[in-house]
Amino acid sequence: MKLLQATGDYDWAAVLRLIRDAFAYMEGRIDPPSSMHMLRADDIAESARNGEVWVIEDAGAPVACMVLTPKSGRLYLGRLAVAAGYRGRGLSRRLVEKAEARATALGFEVLELQSRIELVENHAIFAAMGFRNTAETRHPGFDRATSLTFQKRVGAAVSPASKPQQGGQL
């Protein structure tokens, strides 16, 4: 399997299918529904122009992906998706490691992502990768938290001795 940055005339429709298929299990679990329903192939291409889109391909087809977007003081990791038949093979970890390397290369000390409140199994996976829950957010019109924000310190500013331990805070 090959990890590469998707650019230019990449098959954005294939990436969109991957995201929709990978996020389908959330249907009926999360409220409000995922914004991926409004996502178009052109939106992913735009993300590649304004940030970075990374894919892992098998036999030339994307089987895992992520979108990296520079934000104020951090690199945001979004649309982390792995095809159902490829889960449990460490592809998410491989993408997160690439995101950490890209954050460092771009001069960011924090890698950030969000996960819906209902997806507790994802929260455990992110915690196992060194992310810490740093905030709760609400979608407009909701009086309860609908998402959690996770952050991880990355880069030269973090030596092994200074990294937060399980349960620590940034």
CA distances 160 to 22, 105, 124, 157, 165, Å, are 33, 18, 22, 10, 10
Decide which of 71 and 165 is more confident. Answer: 71
Superfamily holding 2-162: Gcn5-related N-acetyltransferase (GNAT) (3.40.630.30)
And the tokens for 114?
Answer: 């969000």
According to the model, what pLDDT value does residue 167 have? Answer: 36
Distance in angstroms (rounded) separating the CA atoms of residues 158 and 162 = 6
102 with 66: CB under 8 angstroms?
Answer: no
According to the model, what pLDDT value does residue 7 have? Answer: 96
pLDDT of 170 > 60? The answer is no
pLDDT of 163 > 80? The answer is no
- Report helix, strand and coil shares of the chain as percent, to nearest 5: 35, 30, 35
- Residue 56, Cβ neighbours under 10 Å: how many? 23
According to the model, what pLDDT value does residue 124 have? Answer: 94
pLDDT of 164 > 50? The answer is no
pLDDT of 55 > 60? The answer is yes
Share of the chain above pLDDT 70, in %: 91
Per-residue burial over 82-117, b if 16 or more Cβ lie within 10 Å, else e, is bbeebeeeebbebbbebbbebbbeeebbbbbbebbb
**For residue 93, how far is the Cα from the chain centroid?**
10
Report the relative pairing of strands 74-82 and 110-116 from DSSP bridges.
Answer: parallel
pLDDT of 160 > 70? The answer is no
Task: Read off the DSSP letter of residue 117.
Answer: T
According to the model, what pLDDT value does residue 27 have? Answer: 87
- pTM score, whole prediction: 0.87
Q: Which tens digits make up the pLDDT trace of 126-152? A: 999 999 999 999 999 999 999 999 999
According to the model, what pLDDT value does residue 157 have? Answer: 52
Q: What is the mean pLDDT of the chain?
A: 89
pLDDT of 169 > 60? The answer is no
Does residue 70 have a cis bond before it (omega within 30 degrees)? no
Q: Which tens digits make up the pLDDT trace of 70-108? A: 999 999 999 999 999 999 999 999 999 999 999 999 999
Domain residue spans of the chain:
2-162
